Amino acid sequence: MKSLFPTQLGRDAAIGAVIVIAMLAMPSLASKGFVFILGTLSLHIVFGLSWNLMFGQTGLVSFGHASFFAIGGYAYALTARLYPDLHPLLAFSGAGLFSAALALLVGMVALRRSLGVYFAILTLALSQIVYLVLSSIPALGREDGFTGIRRPMLDLGVVAIDLAQGNNYYYFIIVVSALLAALLWWVMHSRFGRAFRSIQQDPDRAAFLGINVQANRLAAFAIASGVTAVAGALYGPWLQLLTPEVAHWTFSARPILYALLGGVQSFWGPVVGAAGFAFLEYGTRTMHGFSEIIIGTILLIVVLVFPGGILGGLALLGKRVGSKVRNETRVEEAP
C-alpha cells in the first residue's frame, strides 16, 4: 500500500476510481432494482460527505441538512418546469448556487448567534419550516409531491445524450456524484481544509493564529449546502417525483448516521456509512415486521464495538496489529 500510493491524493484517487468504475459497471451486472438503489446511494453518499465537511472539518452540527437537499430538488424541478429549454447543467448548478447563497444568508445570521447544539436545533427548526411550507404549497404538489419531473436531454455541444433513455441518467448521476465528491475532497485538502481542521481542533487557538473562524465555518456551511442541493436536484429526475419527506427531520438524520457510522475522521467515513446502511436496508427488505429491530440492533452493536465508526474501528485494529501506517493515513482513532 505504502509504496504504491505515496501520497494521500494518489491513494484516495485510486479508491475513488475503483468505486466509480464498479458503480458504472453495475447496470450490466445487476438487476434494475439494485441499480436504482445504487443510484440513490450515490446521492446519499454526496449528502453524507457534504454534511461531514461541516462536522468532521469544522465541528459544526447541522440537524437540518435535508432542507438544502429539498430546496435544491424543488428549485431544479420548478426551474425545469418553468424554463424547459434551459440547459440542464445550468439548471442543476443554478439549484446548487441558489441554495449555497441561501445558506450563506442563513449562516450569516445563525452562525453569529449560536453554536453547538443550539445551532443544531436552530437548523432543525428551520428545516421543519421548510418542510411545512413545502407541504402546503399547491403549486409544488403539497405532501403528494412534485410529480412528473422529467429526465432532461443533455446537450454537450458535440453530442446530445437523452438522459431519459436506458441507464443514461444513472451514469450521469454517478459521474456528477463523483465530481461533487472530488470537489469536497479538494476543499478538505486545500488551504480551506487546513483552516477548517484547526478550527475543529481548537476554535480559540485557531482564532488566535489569525484564522477567521466565523468566515471559515460560514464557507463550510455554504459549500456543504450547495453540494447537497445539487444532489437533491439530481434526485428529482431520478425518482421523477419529489415529496416534502426529503425535507423531514428523519431525512436530516441520515447524513449524521452515515458519517458517524462510517467514521467522521476519514473522508471515506460517510461513504462506508451510507453503503453499510443501504446494505442493511436492502438485506432486510423482505423481513417484514423485523426490519426495525434488526437495523437498530446492528447499528447499536457497531457503535458500541467501534465508537469511532467503522473506519475508525478498523484503523484502531490496524494499529493494534502493529504496523506503522499511521503517518500515511489520515484515518485516526476517534477522540
Q: Which stretch binds another protein (CB under 8 A): 34-42, 178-186, 189-197, 225-233?
A: 34-42
Q: Which of 8, 40, 93, 329 binds another protein (CB under 8 A)?
A: 40
The answer to the question of residue 161 lying near another protein (CB under 8 A) is no
Cβ distance to another protein smaller for residue 17 or 164: 164
Alpha carbon of 155 to those of 24, 88, 89, 159, 163: distances in Å?
A: 21, 8, 9, 6, 10
CB neighbours of 15 closer than 8 A, spacing ≥ 6? 268
Q: Which of 243, 255, 269, 331 binds another protein (CB under 8 A)?
A: 243
Q: Which of 35, 154, 207, 211 binds another protein (CB under 8 A)?
A: 35
Cβ distance to another protein smaller for residue 97 or 278: 278
Task: Please give the full DSSP string across 128-170, using - where no structure is assigned.
Answer: HHHHHHHTT-GGGTGGG-EE-PPP-EEE-SS-EEETTSTTHHH
Count the neighbouring beta carbons within 10 Å of the beta carbon of residue 221. Answer: 27
In whole angstroms, the minimum distance from the beta carbon of 20 to another protein comes to 20
In whole angstroms, the minimum distance from the beta carbon of 333 to another protein comes to 10
The answer to the question of residue 153 lying near another protein (CB under 8 A) is no
Q: What is the DSSP letter of 59?
A: -
Helix (H) or strand (E) segment spanning residue 241: strand 241-242
Q: Which of 32, 81, 194, 205 binds another protein (CB under 8 A)?
A: 32
Between β-strands 146-147 and 241-242, what pairing exists: parallel, antiparallel or unpaired? antiparallel
Q: Which stretch binds another protein (CB under 8 A): 69-77, 92-100, 255-263, 323-331?
A: 255-263
The answer to the question of residue 295 lying near another protein (CB under 8 A) is yes
In terms of phi and psi (left: phi > 0; alpha: psi -120 to 50; beta: otherwise), the region of 85 is alpha
The answer to the question of residue 48 lying near another protein (CB under 8 A) is no
Q: Which grid cell sits at 300? A: 447499536
| HSE value, Cβ hemisphere, 13 Å, CA-based, for 117 | 0
Closest CA to 260 of 51, 72, 114, 65: 51
How buried is residue 309: exposed, middle or buried, by Cβ count under 10 Å (0-12/13-18/19+)?
buried
Cβ distance to another protein smaller for residue 124 or 211: 124
Q: Which of 86, 108, 125, 215 binds another protein (CB under 8 A)?
A: 125
Per-residue mark of binding to another protein, 130-149 (x: CB under 8 A) = --xx-xx----xxxxx-xx-
For another protein, the binding residues (CB under 8 A) are: 30-37, 40, 55, 61, 109-110, 113-115, 117-118, 121-122, 124-126, 128-129, 132-133, 135-136, 141-145, 147-148, 239-241, 243, 245, 249-250, 253, 256-257, 260-261, 264, 285-286, 288-297, 299-300, 303-304, 307-308, 334-335
